[in-house]
Chains A and B, each alone.
Chain A
Amino acid sequence: RKEVEQDPGPFNVPEGATVAFNCTYSNSASQSFFWYRQDCRKEPKLLMSVYSSGNEDGRFTAQLNRASQYISLLIRDSKLSDSATYLCVVTSRDYKLSFGAGTTVTVRA
């Protein structure tokens, strides 16, 4: 079983829509959680950390559910520039990061 699993999508949404997706993780001892964004053929870049109480960064909201071992990302008022692959990242054994394979979001005009 993979340590981090994501729905690969793609999620195709119109501009202005809200899109949300989850990832699940298998290691109940995981302590740190992140969402990274990766544009086509580019390096991953940190989008936001995910805190236990949930957190927002502009149009982006991240939630953590430790009991069910999943984290979520919600994007409000989608922009064309939000089109990307979103990587779910959690700490694994020995505090190294484990990456999901990514969820692809395409925002259309």
Chain B
Amino acid sequence: DAGITQSPRHKVTETGTPVTLRCHQTENHRYMYWYRQDPGHGLRLIHYSYGVKDTDKGEVSDGYSVSRSKTEDFLLTLESATSSQTSVYFCAMGPGLAGGQTDTQYFGPGTRLTVL
């Protein structure tokens, strides 16, 4: 019952190349998020979206951009990949609440990205 998927699931790329990760949801949730997870740091928010074409930065947004042209799709782009961007990337979705307060988030299966 995967209401949220990510592609690709694994990717190896070289420093300096652009990389795009895709997140797709079928639940019509308003909010979508991109996180990275590294040992000792927990999940850190990269960017999030609160509607079509409405996005904002998270705490670790440098080197990343996002786009949301449809409710169901949220793309994360690494303009010029660096080795420090080797990580596991999780997409998440959530309904949000009136007034903008986020609530429970549901995560995709993750993308393991290695930048050589």
Contact = CB atoms under 8 A, between A and B. Distances in A.
B101 A100 contact: no
Interface stretch (A9-17, A41-49, A69-77): A41-49
Interface range for B: 20 to 34
A101 interface: yes
Contacts, number: 45
Nearest to A6: B42
Given A44-B90, A87-B42, A101-B42, A95 B104 contact: no
Given A41-B110, A87-B43, A101-B40, 20 more contacts: A4-B42, A32-B101, A32-B102, A32-B103, A42-B109, A43-B107, A44-B43, A44-B90, A44-B107, A46-B105, A49-B104, A87-B42, A95-B101, A96-B48, A97-B102, A97-B105, A99-B43, A99-B44, A101-B41, A101-B42
B45 interface: yes
B58 interface: yes
Nearest to A43: B107
A31 interface: yes
Contacts of B40: 101
Contact of A43 (B48, B100, B101, B110): B110
Nearest to B110: A43
Contacts of B109: 42-43
Contacts of A24: none
Interface of A: 4, 31-32, 34, 41-46, 49, 87, 91, 95-97, 99-102
B74 to A, nearest CB: 15
Contact of A96 (B102, B104, B107): B102
Nearest to B97: A95
B40, B90, B102 interface centre (most CB from chain A within 10 Å)? B102
Contacts of A91: 101-102
Contacts of A44: 43, 90, 107
Nearest to A85: B42
